[in-house]
Amino acid sequence: MRNIKLALCCLLLVALLYIGCQTKASKEAGVSTSAALEHEALVAKGNYIVTTGMCDDCHTPKKMTDKGPQFDMERRLMGHPSDMPIPRLPTDALDSWVLMDMNFTYFVGPWGLSYAANITSDPTGIGLWTEEQFFRSMREGKHKGLKNGRELLPPMPWEVIAQRTDEDLKAMWAYLQSTEPIRNIVPPPQPPEALKSYAMVEQ
């Protein structure tokens, strides 16, 4: 009789331990699912902000159609194509104009020549950045989000983006880190005095 009671107690203890483990696993699964859903919602919000904030206008190359340039979504957010040459510029370009090409990925003005950056998740884009770097870039206008980095060049509207809430910037960051990585090394900007040496200005 005593052995039967002992066996029943052991079975009860095993059952309680099993139920406890299952409950813990269910709670952990619930937390994991909840976190995944929250991240999914954050990414969706970031996509909305990036899309309606017109980031594609400069950072996504275009393809020419009978209606004019349209976003090339297969190259979304990869910035100025590294293999795209810069056409010759009119002699008064730096004195009288702010110019951009039909691709809307490079720009010429008093600051010289600047290019739209690769902001995909690739290492040649912002794939190796930290969230802190992204915040510093958007809030302080620092290139690559580095404390001692140069200032971001026009027409990047970082002063406008800086007015976004922390939640907005976190959402943008989450979305950009979820993008398709596209390898594209964007050329460095050029100061005004360098343009002639690059034989882009007609003599």
- Tell me the residue range of the domain where 173 lies: 58-198
Q: Taking residues 115-135, what's their average pLDDT?
A: 98
Q: Has residue 187 been placed in a domain?
A: yes
Tokens of 120: 């995909």
pLDDT of residue 148: 92
- Spatial distance between the Cα atoms of 98 and 94, rounded to a whole number of angstroms: 7
Is the residue at 132 inside a domain?
yes
Residue 80 domain-assigned?
yes
How confident is the model over 146-166, as a mean pLDDT? 95
Instruction: Tell the burial category of 163 from Cβ atoms under 10 Å away from its Cβ (0-12, 13-18, 19+).
Output: exposed
Which has the higher per-residue pLDDT, 196 or 24?
196
pLDDT of the residue at 68 = 85
Provide mean pLDDT across the span 173-202.
84
**Side chain identity at residue 138, one-letter code:** M
Q: How confident is the model at residue 145 (pLDDT cuts 50, 70, 90)?
A: very high
Residue 162: what pLDDT? 97
Q: Count up the domains in the chain and report the number.
A: 1
Instruction: Tell me if 16 is assigned to some domain.
Output: no
Question: Tens of pLDDT along 48-67?
Answer: 999 999 999 999 999 988 88
User: Over the stretch 81-98, which tens digit does the pLDDT of each residue have?
Assistant: 999 988 777 766 677 778
Neighbours of 35 (CB within 10 A): 10
